[in-house]
């Protein structure tokens, strides 16, 4: 079962048109796939993405003294998912974009925490930036 927490927010994005949408925060364990689809006429926004050992939960069940360590990978997930109608990303330690400058103990298994939502718009390609 995917851990879902929902928050209501007001967001100003790109064209400064206010939108109101639901945010979806998911915890994706190592070797699982992050998948998110938006309804027709909407595209995916990535608000934040962390890769590491943030807290005890679905993916981390024991504290070996490495809780709270993570890398901000919002830019990585933006390049892969933002502006698309749907996105699918395998989360695993061999992904060099996720592991680059990884601050946690290498022997401990990390996970992805990602906060996304959908916004009205047409799919775009080649979104850049961190």
Question: Hey, is 93 helix, strand or coil?
Answer: coil
Fold for the domain defined by 4-120: Jelly Rolls (2.60.120)
Q: Given the structure tokens 């990602």, which residue do they identify?
A: 114
**DSSP output for 105-125:** -TTSPPEEEEEEEEEES----
Q: Could you write out the DSSP letters of every residue in 33-70?
A: EEEEE--TTEEEEEEEEEEEE-SSSSS--S--S-TTEE
Q: What is the mean pLDDT of residues 11-39?
A: 72
Averaged confidence pLDDT in the chain: 80
Phi and psi angles of residue 69, each rounded to the nearest 5 degrees, phi first: -90, 135
pLDDT of residue 101: 82
Q: Report pLDDT for 125.
A: 59
Using CA atoms of 54, 56, 57, 58 in order, give the dihedral in degrees to the nearest 10: 80
Tell which wins on pLDDT, 123 or 15.
123
What average pLDDT score do residues 22-49 get? Answer: 93
Is the CB of residue 27 less than 8 Å from the CB of residue 49? no
Question: Residue range 109-123: average pLDDT?
Answer: 92
Give the tens place of pLDDT for each residue, 56-106.
Answer: 999 999 888 889 999 999 999 999 999 999 999 999 988 999 988 888 888
Q: Which residue, chain included where needed, has tokens 């890398």?
A: 71
What average pLDDT score do residues 99-127 get? 85
d(CA 75, CA 13): 16
Sketch the domain layout of the chain as residue ranges: 4-120
**pLDDT reading at 33 higher than 80:** yes
């Amino acid at each position: 079962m995917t851990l879902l927490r929902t928050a209501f927010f007001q967001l100003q994005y790109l064209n400064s048109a206010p939108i109101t949408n639901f945010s979806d925060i998911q915890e994706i364990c190592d070797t699982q796939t992050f998948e998110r689809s938006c309804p027709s006429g909407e595209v995916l926004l990535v608000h934040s993405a962390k890769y590491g050992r943030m807290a005890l939960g679905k993916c981390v069940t024991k504290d070996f003294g490495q809780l709270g360590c993570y890398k901000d990978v919002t830019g990585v997930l933006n390049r892969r998912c933002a502006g698309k109608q749907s996105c699918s990303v395998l989360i695993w330690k061999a992904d060099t974009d996720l592991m680059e400058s990884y601050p946690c103990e290498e022997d401990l298994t990390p996970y992805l925490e990602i906060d996304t939502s959908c916004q009205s718009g047409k799919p775009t390609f080649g979104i850049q930036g961190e």
